[in-house]
Amino acid sequence: MNSAGEPLTHSGRDDVRIMTLQAHILEEQAHQPLAGGTFSWILSALSISAKIIADKVRRARLENVLGSIGTENIQGEVQQKLDVIANEVLLRTLGGREGVAIVASEENEEPVILRDNKDGDRRYCVLFDPLDGSSNLDVCGGVGTIFSILAHDRRADNAQASLLQAGSRQVAAGYVLYGSSTVFVLTFGKGVDMFVLDPGIGAFMRVEQGLKIPRHSKSYSVNEGNRRSFPAGYQRYLDWAQSNDYSSRYAGAMVADVHRILLKGGVFMYPPTKKAPQGKLRLMYEANPMAMIIEQAGGKAMTEPNQRVLDVQPRDIHQRTAVILGSADEVDNVIAHLATH
C-alpha cells in the first residue's frame, strides 16, 4: 500500500500500471484493425517460446546440451545443440497458431509452409533467428532470439516470393535477450517497448514504453579482429574514433550488442570482410528486425552504399548484408568516413 492506502504496482512504484506482455498485445491489437485476433496469438507463441528457450539456456550445462551437434546449417555454420532445440521450440509453438502461414528460420534451408491461404483470413509470415550468438553459450555469455513478422502476400506464387519483402514492410519485429535477466523488446511500428521476465510468476512485465536511443554516445561495437580486412572507410572511422576517446564494446552476439546500444547509445557495425564480402549478418533474420527497432527508437540503420537497411529489396531469404546501426549521430559519423577518400 502507498501512503494513500492504495495497492502498489508490480514495480513497487505507485505511478506505473502493471502491464504484462499479454495485456500489452491485446491493447495494441485494438489499434491494428486488419490484424483480427490472429496477431495476439502469434505474439503469445513467441512469448511462450522465449520462456521455454530461456529455461533451456539456463539449464544447458546441467542437461548436457552445450556444444555442437556436428552438422552445418544452410549458411555453412556449425550448429550448436541449442540452435536446433530453439528452432524446434519456435516451429512447434508457431505451428499451432492459425494466423501463421509461413515460417522461415536461419536454420532451415526452405521456408516451412504451415497453411495455405484459401479461406481468406489475414495471415502472417514469421521469420526468426532462433538462437543468436550461440557460440557464447559455452561461456555463459548473452544469447538471444530475433524475429520479424510480415503480412502474407497472397499474390505471390510461392513461399519464397511471399517472404521477399523489404524490411520497411515488417508489421512487427522484436528480440529476446537471455542475459542476466530475460528481456523482450518489441515494436509494432509505433515505438519500442521493453518487457522483463518475472521468474516468480512466469510473465513478461512491461518496464519501458516508447524507448528512445541516445542521439550520441562515444562507443562503437565491432569485431576489431577483422579490422585489416574491412574496407578502408571503416578503418578510417576506427582511427578517428580512437583518437577521439571512443570506447569499444563487443559481446559477439548481435542481440546483446544491439541491446546495449539501444539503451546506452553508440554504433554497432558488421562491415564486409574478405571472408564475408557481403557482410556476415542475415538481412531477413537479423538486420531487418534490428533496423526496425532501432529506427522506431529514433536511431538509424544503414547498409552500403549509404542505403537504409529497411529499403533493401531481398532476393534470397538467406542473403547477408553489411550493417551500421545505432545512435543517429554515431551512424552518420561512420557513413561520413565511408564517403571520404
Question: Alpha-carbon distance 38 to 8, whole Å?
Answer: 33
3-class secondary structure, 143: strand
99 versus 272: smaller Cβ distance to ligand AHG? 272
Cis amide linkage into residue 305, ω under 30° from 0: yes
The correct pick among 51, 56, 280, 320 for binding ligand AHG (CB under 6 A) is: 280
CB of 325 to ligand AHG, least distance (A): 11
Cα–Cα distances (Å) from 3 to 9, 15, 38, 288, in that order, read 13, 13, 42, 47
132 contributes a contact to Mn ion by CB under 5 A: yes
107 belongs to the binding site for ligand AHG (CB under 6 A): no
252, 298, 304, 329: which one binds ligand AHG (CB under 6 A):
252
Residue nearest to ligand AHG (CB): 223
Contact between 253 and ligand AHG (CB under 6 A)? yes
Give min distance, CB of 48 to Mn ion, in A: 19
Quick check: 330 binds Mn ion (CB under 5 A)? Answer: no
Site string for ligand AHG, 221-250 (x = CB under 6 A): --x---------------------------
Closer residue to ligand AHG, CB minimum distance, 178 or 270: 270
Are 98 and 121 spatial neighbours (Cβ–Cβ below 8 Å)? yes
Among 50, 173, 177, 254, binds ligand AHG (CB under 6 A): 254
**Residue 61 and residue 125: Cα distance in Å, rounded?**
33
211 neighbors 260 (Cβ within 8 angstroms): no
Among 28, 129, 295, 330, binds ligand AHG (CB under 6 A): 129
Q: Which of the listed partners (ligand AHG, Mn ion, none) does 221 bind, with a CB threshold of 5 to 8 Å by partner kind? A: none
Cβ 48 vs Cβ 93: under 8 Å: yes
Residue 132 found at the interface with ligand AHG (CB under 6 A) = yes
- In whole angstroms, the minimum distance from the beta carbon of 284 to Mn ion comes to 12
Q: What residue spans of 96-190 are helical by DSSP H?
A: 159-163
Rounded least distance, CB 258 to Mn ion, Å = 11
Q: Which is nearer to Mn ion, 28 or 132 (CB)?
A: 132
Give the residue with the Cβ less far from ligand AHG, 205 or 287: 287
- The grid coordinates of residue 295 equal 529506427
The answer to the question of residue 290 lying near ligand AHG (CB under 6 A) is no
257 contributes a contact to Mn ion by CB under 5 A: no
Residues in contact with 191: Cβ distance below 8 Å, sequence separation at least 6, in sequence order: 209, 210, 211, 296, 297
Q: Does 261 bind ligand AHG (CB under 6 A)?
A: no
Q: Among residues 284, 259, 1, which one has the least CA distance to residue 168?
A: 284
Nearest residue to 198 (alpha-carbon basis) of 45, 25, 9 = 9
Break the chain down into helix, strand, coil percent, rounded to 5: 35, 25, 40
Say which amino acid occupies 287: A
Question: Which residue ranges make up the site for Mn ion (CB under 5 A)?
Answer: 129, 131-132
